[in-house]
């Protein structure tokens, strides 16, 4: 089995296709339409990212943020 590189007709390199980000049907697209808890969570995540200069917090950090908002495991 041989593998060949496809020949391209253009000399410019192609950019990879971007995945489209689609909101679920009925999902609010503006902060005005979101419940206050959602806006509070998004704001807390954004503040954490700016304070710690991290574009993507890991799950442990997200849990830390949720706890700082006052959420805890139900018994």
What is the rounded distance in angstroms from the CA atom of residue 63 to the CA atom of residue 27?
23
DSSP at 47? H
Give start and end residues of each alpha helix (H) in the chain: 36-52, 59-68
Which residues lie closer than 8 Å to 67 by C-beta, 6 or more apart?
none
pLDDT for 17-36, tens place per residue? Answer: 766 656 567 777 787 888 99
Q: What is the pLDDT of residues 28-74, one digit of tens each?
A: 778 788 899 999 999 999 999 999 999 999 999 999 999 999 999 89
Strand locations in 12-71 (E): none
């Amino acid at each position: 089995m041989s593998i060949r590189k496809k020949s391209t007709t253009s000399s410019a390199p192609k950019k990879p296709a971007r995945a489209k980000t689609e909101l679920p049907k009925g999902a609010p697209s503006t902060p005005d339409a979101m419940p206050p808890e959602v806006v509070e969570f998004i704001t807390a995540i954004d503040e954490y990212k700016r304070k710690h200069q991290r574009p993507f917090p890991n799950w442990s950090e997200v849990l830390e943020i949720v706890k700082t908002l006052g959420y805890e495991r139900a018994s």
